[in-house]
Amino acid sequence: MNSYRWNVLPQVSSESLTSVSGLAPLVVQLLYNRGITEPSQIKLFLAADEHLSVDPYSLPDMHQAVTRIYQALLAGESIAVYGDFDTDGITGAVLLVQGLSALGADVIPYIPHRLNEGHGLNHAALEYLRQQGVSLVVTVDCGVTGISQVKRAKRKGLDVIITDHHTPLDELPPAVAVTDPKRSDTDGSSSGMAGVGVAFKLLQALYRGMGREEELATMLDLVALGTVADMVPLVGENRYLVKRGLELINSAPRLGVREMAVQAGLDVGGIDAVDISWTLAPRLNAAGRLEHAMASYRLLDTDLPEEARQLAAVLGEQNAERQRLTVKSLARAREQVLARGDSMLLMACDRDYQGGILGLVAGRLAREFYRPSVVVRVGDRSSSGSCRSIPEFDIIQAISQCRHLLDQYGGHSQAAGFSLPTSNLGRLECQLVEIAQKQLADVDLRPRLDIDAEVVLRQLAGDTFQAIQKLAPFGKGNPLPTFVSRNVAVAGCRTMGGNGNHLRLKLKQDGTHWDAVAFGQGDRLPQVKSAIDIVYNLELDKWSGQAGLRLNILDIAPEVLS
């Protein structure tokens, strides 16, 4: 049995395929699968230029935010940029500090400590900033649920401007401005932006008013890093920002990014969105997971080569340690969930779990077992948890139904976090499992693979890969194209990797030969027959010493289904 539910998307009509001149039929099919159906839409999507950019003043409270910052600039006020400890929050903080500094602002960064302070605004931090002479705080990637924190800050004479992209509560904080595209009173045109994207729109409005907007082009690398890392949809303006940012990363990378890439073994000049997701963002996140995210902030901000080398090395070491801790904690969590038997929602609790890797472990559980998963670090009086989910289950909605048991919570449909009195853990688990059982009772709990087209291997020859690359950058909302080929002959198959975790295959069909890999599927070697059906991506093999195309197999049907 194949591991996934295969969902081959509907084939575009022949009339539609021929109506778009100059594009290969397969590319037209890919565009249609992504909802890009009109000629004007296709032109915008493929160009991925500034025409995708929306007016920054279409975001709520932008006029109020800009006016207050102008006042601070003219009066020489001290401004603090209050970020977050993940890549989105860090890049957004660097972006705003550098952008405001270039306008002459007296500005300092503040990144909270993940374990000691947690996500979002906190009273102690705001009071510390006030005592340092700060009169205006601008948030990045946080703050929209900080109602009590903003109220207290306001009483003490500290103004707050919120830029965020998380879902607000029914009540908004009484800030000078709450610039969040997910507010219910907006048109939703920018609702898919990351926190760094919203911060960029604030700078865009400020710089436009001064006739200096073109200067922002040098900061788009930060926007690309944070946007890709936060896994927001790479469509609309995000597509433009990431494409331009990747061009900058490859043509003129800032020192910290270059050092990270070199030390990670990346090809500087050929970095793509996948490299950000799997290599650069984990290193930037590692500092905040284990110690303090200011190391990542400094790496992106420095213009000193030696400091960049040292900080990149530190992040590399921290990322390796993060990987070791994740493997150890995942093994413990797997033991716990397996011991509890089959459940619609998985929950693992332990005093020894590191707070900075709870989400990583929960994500691994969710992917392996295809169940919403919760991992909790247990304390004597208070405990904290991180949740990761599957598309069929809205975890933040489920958590909100249990809010009477919680001290704090927040997040998205697929990722959330919370804290609560330890005495409430048992009741929380019971309620979450009950909610999951009701919602998932009739769901086939295997992940679904959306397949763009059924092809024979010879269709992928020639310039097909180059044609597909016109749709890049790929990510959420614009996934890497996925294909299915049936009755493919297996000319060779063996395991690879230190533990034999992966498969390397040689495939042929109608005289066409392809190399292929199947990562994480080494245990399926006995199932590989002389002919198989495969679902895969077409990719450039960067690791074999010479660039060449190969198939990255996502799933195998050992029994040919055609």
Q: Which of 440, 466, 483 is the last residue of a domain?
A: 440
In this structure, are residues 131 and 160 in contact, taking their beta carbons and an 8 Å threshold? no
Q: Which of 206, 232, 258 is the last residue of a domain?
A: 232
Query: Does residue 263 belong to any structural domain of this protein?
Result: no
**Count of domains for the chain:** 3
Check pLDDT > 90 for residue 167.
no
DSSP, residue by residue, 490-515:
EEEEEEESTTS-EEEEEEEETTEEEE
Say yes or no: 68 and 107 in one domain.
yes
> What strand order describes the sheet that includes 346-350?
346-350, 373-377, 382-388, 415-421, 408-411
Does residue 47 or residue 412 have the better pLDDT? Answer: 47
- pTM of the shown model: 0.91
Say yes or no: 355 and 467 in one domain.
no
Say yes or no: 382 and 475 in one domain.
no
- For range 325-332, the mean pLDDT: 95
Query: Does residue 175 belong to any structural domain of this protein?
Result: yes
- For range 188-212, the mean pLDDT: 94
Say yes or no: 160 and 134 in one domain.
yes
559 pLDDT band, cuts 50/70/90, is low
Query: Does residue 285 belong to any structural domain of this protein?
Result: no
Say yes or no: 72 and 220 in one domain.
yes
- For range 322-326, the mean pLDDT: 94
pLDDT, one tens digit per residue, over 505-558 is 999 998 899 999 999 899 889 888 899 999 999 998 866 556 689 999 999 987
39 pLDDT band, cuts 50/70/90, is confident
Q: Greatest CA separation found in the chain?
A: 76
Strand-pairing partners, residue 451, are 8
> What CATH number should be reported for the domain holding residue 390?
3.10.310.30
> What CATH number should be reported for the domain holding residue 475?
2.40.50.460
Q: Which of 275-289, 355-369, 405-419 is least confident?
A: 405-419
Check pLDDT > 90 for residue 472.
yes
Say yes or no: 74 and 20 in one domain.
no
Check pLDDT > 90 for residue 37.
no
Query: Does residue 489 belong to any structural domain of this protein?
Result: yes
Does residue 562 or residue 442 have the better pLDDT? Answer: 442
Say yes or no: 496 and 540 in one domain.
yes
Check pLDDT > 60 for residue 235.
yes
Segments forming the whole domain that contains residue 14: 5-45+449-557
Question: What value, to the nearest 5°, has the Cα angle with vertex 475 and ends 418 and 302?
Answer: 75
Tell me what pLDDT residue 20 has: 67
Tell me what pLDDT residue 544 has: 57
Q: Which of 416, 440, 464 is the last residue of a domain?
A: 440
- For range 305-312, the mean pLDDT: 97
Query: Does residue 164 belong to any structural domain of this protein?
Result: yes
Percent of the chain, pLDDT > 90?
A: 78
Average pLDDT, the chain: 92
